[in-house]
Amino acid sequence: MPVFETKALFDAISYTASAVKTLKSIDDRVKLNEAIYSVQESLLSAQQMALDSQQEMTAIVEAKGALEKEIASLRTFEAEKARYAMHETEAGGITYLVKEDARNGEPSHHICAACYQKSVKSVLQLKGLNLFCGQCGSSSEYHPRSGGFIV
């Protein structure tokens, strides 16, 4: 619920509370019924505003959780970026290749340059004569060395 609607909710509650206090002093039956109806309408309006506020708060909490998760993912990728260096394949394709001293027991591999720019790590897979990204669908040309190792 935007802040201006929060004020409307408090105004409706305040109006209802003061209207209830005046009910005892109304002697005329018709006027009393009108006042009771007005109070009921005000209560229903306040109830709807409270429900809208609750739904908005739930959406905000969910959005906050998603943003926290995204921030954690970006921080993880920032640390991961240091393990890779931009690489041009023999065919002129651009990838990011894991540095020899940062392989941590992993085989030599390339990650997608397009995904890298979006802070997403996507290991490229050999598909025909290209390195293919399963994340974004892009491919980079390469030529295998004599031993079949991807450069």
Interacting residue with Zn ion among 13, 43, 114, 123 (CB under 5 A): 114
Least Å distance, CB 113 to Zn ion, is 8
**CB-CB neighbours of 108 under 10 Å:** 12
Is-contact 124 140, C-beta < 8 A? yes
Cα gap 120→84, rounded to integer Å: 13
CA distances from 85 to 65, 98, 110 (A): 32, 6, 9
Q: Count the residues of the shown chain that bind Zn ion, applying the rule CB under 5 A.
A: 7
Which span sits near Zn ion by CB under 5 A: 28-36, 51-59, 99-107, 115-123?
115-123
Interacting residue with Zn ion among 52, 135, 141, 151 (CB under 5 A): 135
Cα gap 70→79, rounded to integer Å: 14
Interacting residue with Zn ion among 96, 122, 131, 142 (CB under 5 A): 122
Nearer CB in complex with Zn ion: 98/133: 133
Q: Binding of Zn ion at residue 9 (CB under 5 A)?
A: no
Least Å distance, CB 71 to Zn ion, is 21
Cα gap 59→30, rounded to integer Å: 44
Cα gap 139→106, rounded to integer Å: 22
Which span sits near Zn ion by CB under 5 A: 49-57, 64-72, 93-101, 133-141?
133-141
Cα gap 140→86, rounded to integer Å: 13
Q: Binding of Zn ion at residue 133 (CB under 5 A)?
A: yes
Site of interaction with Zn ion (CB under 5 A):
112, 114-115, 122, 133, 135-136
